[in-house]
């Protein structure tokens, strides 16, 4: 269970930034980490497992116990884990063929090598299925879901977890299997939270808690804490704190110090966001105390970094620097990239605050170099913050030209990722000074104006808050005075007047209730009208888009056939065979484009009318894809693009043949369209536990992040021209998504500008 990664000192971030970072970091709770020391409770568990290993009567039982030992040691002492893996390799083939790939995958997952772990779990699932060990298959599927989840394939992770849950629902469960079944609900809840589907996430967390409580499983506190994570993501700090407190009470009760440690760190972050710094420090020190008692250097390093940030708030900068250096030493011992990058950054900032510029420059430069070599995506924050620090260093030492690229890099990152107005204003002001320093007064003026605009926005927010507070206080004083007058009047007036007053109040309340009821009815009606308006606008936009496709995008290929017979006859008479061959290639390309466009329009129309008939059958994958590739041979040859396939001959997929052809055809067409000359398009397929996985990748221009988010939507100006000027409509990708969905499949996409795009499809087999 990891603490929140990315929270730095309050003097560096505003409250809104801190909350965003806290939300980002909270996603990594309750996962394992490598090189933390074994806690006393884990030592007891290890001893119990070793005793069970001695008493085991067959190799299958022994392999199951050893797999649990490997799971523990992989997070602490990898050399012992490797020894146990070797032991399983020596078992009989029936046992080792199943358990060896399973424990190898476990080991790699603990090292965060999810892509490498994936084929081992797939192999283990096949072997356990042959042994008819459904519970072990379910556990393999759960581990496989982590491979998908931590590489961004959330739909695939969800399908795998549902498959695992379905397997266990068919069994009469042992106590361990009941625990796994309940845990699967919690993991599914986490996937839904990553998808920002918070209602579904909350339902699965509640279900996990209910299942664990009904079976006297004390680990329900993990799911309670995960509910706190969901509330924190939604910005409800109070409910988040309530759930963390409930969870930590249970962790202490069952002596689960490791999870109690992390929850104390989360509580400290809650109080940091509430600007309650003494309370923040109290919970950090609780965490550090547990870390020292249990020799947990991982949480100790995090605690030291957070305590350093707390000291920075109180301007105890020398103490903050010492804590950062201690954390840096521990981080290098742990070989944890995120800890190292954060420690380097915070140490550089400490030296900068103390005015020791050379040391600040050294640690910030080391942070940048380290982050560039790391594969951990979480270091991006510290890479960007170090750029800001280096830009400030160069500015303060009058090296203006060197300062500009670092400050610009940070400003772009901040605007794209967090949008903190205060930090953007600060860096804009520094850029204004830097450009003035090199004599570029036009740029200096622009950045100074940007600084003023951002600063005015911040002041407006602060003024609004101050006015609101003043109005609240004025209303409170006025209400107090009104009550005092009413009390004085009550002493002087007769009971008749008192009753009249009460009657008037009752009438006023009734009138207020009626007005409020009328407001709610009107508001609900307005919401309905607004929703209908949005739907109508969407339908109109869709209509306009389809008419644009028919009226414009179909025009070019159709016009290309006008007068073609006369041109051919003329060229034959002239015996101009070179031009004739060129026209033949253009005709073929235009015919293919027209055929694809009309087919896509027809399929789209049938989908809108819900008239598309599906006939799922087992399709020989290699044969069908080769037929489709043959259609694009001319287009690929024109650009000298090599189409490579890696599809097992006996692999079949269960789907509608016509829909499948449309999906693959559109993906291959796009790959060729956006790949430059001499590029490559690759199509691979493999068997996975939930069916078949198909990858279509290219070495093309890639897709920008802003377009990637809307790639499957039918929108204007979404499509761009291909590398040879080929025109796209944007309809194909929308159709691919819809056809995949109704064929019970899933699709994910990854892309990097300048390097290419990867589409990953999964279908039942």
pLDDT score of 730 more than 60: yes
Task: Tell me the per-residue pLDDT of 297-355, one tens digit each, with 9 for 90 and over.
Answer: 888 999 999 999 999 888 899 999 999 999 999 989 888 888 899 999 999 999 999 99
Please name which of 605, 626, 641 lies closest in space to residue 726, comparing C-alpha atoms: 641
Exposure string for 735-761, b = 16+ CB within 10 A, e = fewer: bbbbbbeebebbbbbbbeeeebbbbbb
Whether 115 contacts 82, CB under 8 Å: no
Whether 431 contacts 411, CB under 8 Å: yes
Dihedrals φ, ψ of 716, to 5°?
Answer: -70, 150
The predicted model gives 111-116 an average pLDDT of 79
pLDDT confidence band for 509 (50 / 70 / 90): low
pLDDT score of 5 more than 80: no
CA torsion through residues 300, 304, 305, 307, sign: positive
The predicted model gives 413-432 an average pLDDT of 83
pLDDT score of 480 more than 50: no
- pTM beyond cutoff 0.75: no
Q: What pLDDT sits at residue 420?
A: 76
Give 73's contacts (C-beta < 8 A, 6+ positions apart).
Answer: 80, 81, 84
DSSP state of 379: G
Task: Tell me the per-residue pLDDT of 524-572, one tens digit each, with 9 for 90 and over.
Answer: 666 766 666 665 555 555 544 444 444 444 544 554 555 566 666 666 6
* CA gap 720, 52 in Å, rounded: 63
Whether 165 contacts 181, CB under 8 Å: yes
Please name which of 422, 425, 338, 334 lies closest in space to residue 374, comparing C-alpha atoms: 338
Strand, helix or coil for residue 652: strand
Token pair 């956006």: residue: 674
The predicted model gives 677-683 an average pLDDT of 93
Q: What pLDDT sits at residue 13?
A: 36
Q: What pLDDT sits at residue 744?
A: 87
- Bridge-based pairing of strands 756-763 and 691-698 is antiparallel
Whether 141 contacts 164, CB under 8 Å: yes
Give 620's contacts (C-beta < 8 A, 6+ positions apart).
Answer: 651, 652
Dihedrals φ, ψ of 652, to 5°?
Answer: -125, 155
* CA gap 564, 572 in Å, rounded: 12
Please name which of 210, 151, 150, 159 lies closest in space to residue 186, comparing C-alpha atoms: 210
pLDDT score of 698 more than 90: yes
Please name which of 417, 357, 358 lies closest in space to residue 382, comparing C-alpha atoms: 417
Q: In this predicted structure, which of 247-251, 406-410, 427-431, 450-454 has the lowest mean pLDDT?
A: 450-454
The predicted model gives 83-99 an average pLDDT of 84
Task: Tell me the per-residue pLDDT of 163-175, one tens digit each, with 9 for 90 and over.
Answer: 888 888 766 777 7
pLDDT score of 477 more than 60: no
Whether 223 contacts 209, CB under 8 Å: yes
């Amino acid at each position: 269970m990891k603490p929140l990664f990315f929270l730095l000192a309050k003097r560096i971030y505003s409250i809104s930034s801190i909350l965003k970072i806290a939300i980002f970091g909270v996603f990594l709770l309750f996962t394992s980490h490598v090189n933390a020391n074994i806690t006393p409770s884990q030592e007891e568990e290890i001893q119990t497992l070793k005793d069970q290993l001695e008493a085991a009567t067959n190799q299958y039982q022994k392999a199951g116990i050893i797999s649990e030992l490997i799971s523990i040691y992989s997070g602490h002492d990898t050399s012992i884990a490797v020894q146990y893996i070797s032991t399983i390799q020596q078992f009989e083939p029936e046992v080792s063929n199943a358990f060896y790939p399973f424990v190898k995958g476990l080991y790699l997952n603990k090292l965060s090598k999810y892509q490498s772990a994936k084929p081992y779990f797939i192999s283990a699932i096949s072997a356990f299925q042959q042994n008819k060990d459904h519970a072990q298959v379910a556990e393999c599927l759960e581990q496989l879901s982590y491979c998908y989840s931590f590489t961004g394939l959330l739909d695939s992770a969800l399908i795998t977890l549902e498959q695992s849950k379905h397997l266990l629902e068919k069994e009469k469960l042992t106590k361990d299997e009941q625990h796994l079944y309940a845990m699967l609900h919690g993991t599914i809840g986490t996937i839904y939270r990553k998808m920002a589907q918070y209602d579904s996430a909350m339902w699965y967390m509640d279900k996990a808690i209910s299942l664990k409580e009904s079976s006297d499983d004390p680990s329900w506190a993990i799911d309670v804490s995960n509910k706190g994570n969901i509330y924190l993501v939604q910005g409800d700090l109070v409910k988040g704190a309530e759930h963390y407190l409930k969870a930590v009470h249970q962790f202490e009760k069952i002596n689960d110090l490791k999870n109690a440690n992390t929850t104390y760190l989360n509580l400290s972050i809650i109080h940091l966001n509430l600007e309650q710094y003494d309370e923040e420090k109290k919970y950090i020190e609780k965490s550090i105390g547990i870390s020292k008692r249990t020799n947990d250097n991982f949480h100790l390093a995090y605690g030291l970094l957070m305590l350093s940030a707390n000291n920075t708030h109180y301007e105890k900068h020398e103490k903050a620097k010492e804590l950062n250096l201690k954390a840096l030493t521990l981080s290098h011992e742990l070989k944890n990239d995120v800890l190292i990058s954060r420690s380097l950054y915070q140490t550089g900032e400490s030296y900068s605050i103390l005015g020791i510029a050379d040391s600040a420059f050294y640690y910030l430069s080391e942070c940048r170099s380290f982050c560039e070599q790391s594969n951990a995506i979480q270091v991006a924050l510290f890479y960007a913050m170090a750029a800001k620090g280096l830009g400030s260093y160069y500015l303060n030492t009058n090296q203006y030209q060197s300062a500009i690229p670092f400050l610009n890099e940070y400003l772009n990152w901040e605007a794209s990722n967090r949008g903190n107005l205060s930090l953007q204003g600060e860096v804009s002001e520094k850029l204004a000074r830097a450009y003035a320093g090199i004599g570029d007064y036009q740029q200096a003026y622009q950045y100074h104006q940007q600084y003023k605009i951002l600063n005015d926005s911040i002041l407006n927010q602060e003024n609004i808050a101050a006015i609101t507070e003043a109005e609240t206080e004025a209303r409170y004083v006025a209400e107090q005075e009104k009550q005092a007058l009413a009390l004085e009047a009550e002493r002087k007036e007769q009971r008749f007047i008192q009753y009249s007053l009460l009657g008037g109040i009752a009438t006023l309340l009734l009138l207020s209730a009626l007005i409020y009821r009328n407001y709610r009815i009107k508001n609900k009606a307005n919401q309905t009208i607004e929703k209908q308006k949005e739907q109508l606008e969407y339908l109109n936009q869709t209509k306009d888009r389809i008419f644009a496709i028919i009226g414009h995008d179909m025009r070019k290929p159709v016009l290309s056939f006008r007068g073609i017979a006369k041109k051919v006859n003329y060229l034959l008479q002239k015996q101009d065979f070179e031009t004739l061959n060129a026209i033949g290639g253009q005709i073929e390309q235009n015919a293919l484009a027209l055929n694809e466009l009309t087919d896509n329009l027809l399929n789209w129309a049938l989908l809108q009318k819900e008239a598309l008939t599906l006939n799922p059958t087992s399709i020989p994958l290699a044969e069908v894809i080769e037929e489709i590739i043959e259609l694009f041979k001319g287009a690929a040859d024109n650009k000298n693009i090599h189409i490579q396939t890696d599809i097992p001959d006996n692999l079949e997929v269960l789907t509608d043949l016509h829909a499948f052809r449309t999906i693959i055809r559109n993906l291959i067409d796009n790959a060729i369209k956006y790949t430059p000359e001499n590029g490559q398009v690759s199509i691979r397929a493999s068997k996975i536990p939930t069916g078949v996985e198909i990858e279509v990748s290219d070495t093309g221009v890639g897709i920008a992040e802003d377009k990637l988010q809307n790639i499957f939507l039918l929108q204007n100006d979404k499509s761009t021209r291909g590398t040879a000027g080929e025109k796209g409509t944007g309809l194909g990708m929308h159709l691919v998504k819809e056809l995949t969905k109704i064929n019970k499949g899933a699709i994910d996409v990854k892309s990097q500008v300048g390097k290419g795009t990867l589409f990953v499809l999964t279908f039942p087999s």
